[in-house]
Amino acid sequence: MIHPGAASRLAPYRALFGARFRMLLQYRAAALGGLATQIAFGLILIMIYDAFYRSSTAAVQPMAFRQVASYVWLGQALLMMLPWNVDSEMRAMMRSGGVAYELSRPVDLYTWWYARAAAQRTAPVVLRAVPMLVFAMVGLPLLGLGEWRLGPPASLAAAIGFAAALVGALAVACAFSVLLYIAWIWTLAADGIVTVASTAVSMLSGLLIPLPLFPDWARTALRWLPFAGILDQPARIYTGHIASGELAAVLARQLGWTAVLIALGRRLLARGLRRVVVQGG
């Protein structure tokens, strides 16, 4: 059923998303340069895991090596979706007090920023992921390095589950991104907060090292943090390490964290803005 009221209310946010998305797609040269580096990194990481796997028995191996390889490539492909940075344009604007301009628009600021984050977290991924996937799935076997490739999804159910989990991952990532934007309202030294957040994201999402390779006693804690839902769990659905039956649990956790982070973000934004206005900013 179409609700014309809702559609027109969402129009400005859709417009922002579309405009920003298209603009970001133009940065092809930068994407290409970064692509080569990411491929190099992916290869080196896989080589290191390969050496560890050859030196050990299955008893200590939580997942098969080819699943590790796929996991690494998925991490590199989705790198720009992870909320480990605030783009320089936003940072410059927040530091120069440009939030005043943002407030002057007749839109809900949180949703506005969420739409913006959505564009920032998807367009660069689209630019990089496609060539990266081509290289990881097709190029590597052609080079005789097929054992390090990104394999296909474990099953059709895994593929569908991956797609669904990806949407959930994006939702969480954008909510976290907006939290980082909001940090700039609370303190000018938000660089430090972004760095800490960046480290947390990198370490706890599976980007730095596949989460299953962490000590077993950490597994439960890692699973319940929001970051696992951004990369680790979608990647493990893809490789079949998480059974398709558990998809519902993964999605539920992603949804839950999205709701929590959005609620937290809205509250911090409202309180932060009141402080700014009171200080005459």
Q: How far is the CB of 214 from other proteins (least distance, A)?
A: 5
Residue 30 Rama label (left phi>0; alpha psi -120 to 50; beta): alpha
The one-character DSSP state at 154 is S
Please report, as residue ranges, which positions from 13 to 32 form the binding site for other proteins (by CB under 8 A).
29-30, 32
Of 39 and 166, nearer to other proteins (C-beta) is 39
48 binds other proteins (CB under 8 A): yes
CB of 57 closer than 8 Å to CB of 189: no
The first and second tokens of residue 81, run together, are 């979706």
Q: How far is the CB of 29 from other proteins (least distance, A)?
A: 5
Which segment (34-42, 95-103, 166-174, 233-241) binds other proteins by CB under 8 A?
Answer: 34-42
DSSP reduced 3-state for 255: helix
- What is d(CA 63, CA 70) in angstroms, rounded to the nearest whole number? 11
CB of 151 closer than 8 Å to CB of 66: yes
How many residues lie near other proteins (CB under 8 A)? 34
- What is d(CA 183, CA 189) in angstroms, rounded to the nearest whole number? 9
Q: Please, which residues have CB within 8 angstroms of residue 60's CB and are 6 or more apart in sequence?
A: none
- What is d(CA 116, CA 93) in angstroms, rounded to the nearest whole number? 14
Task: Please identify which residue in 159, 164, 209, 255 interacts with other proteins, judged by CB under 8 A.
Answer: 209
DSSP reduced 3-state for 194: helix
Contact letters for other proteins, residues 59-88 (x by CB under 8 A)? -x----------------------------
Task: Please identify which residue in 14, 23, 27, 37 interacts with other proteins, judged by CB under 8 A.
Answer: 37
Q: How far is the CB of 126 from other proteins (least distance, A)?
A: 16
Of 40 and 103, nearer to other proteins (C-beta) is 40
Q: How far apart are the first and last CA of the chain?
A: 44
Give the number of other CB atoms < 10 A from CB of residue 153.
Answer: 17
Contact letters for other proteins, residues 178-207 (x by CB under 8 A)? -----------x-xx--xx-xx--xx----
- No. of helices (H) and no. of strands (E), the chain: 12, 0
40 binds other proteins (CB under 8 A): yes
Of 30 and 263, nearer to other proteins (C-beta) is 30
Q: How far is the CB of 200 from other proteins (least distance, A)?
A: 9
- Note the residues at the interface with other proteins (CB under 8 A): 29-30, 32-34, 36-37, 39-41, 44-45, 47-48, 51-52, 54-56, 60, 189, 191-192, 195-196, 198-199, 202-203, 208-209, 213-215
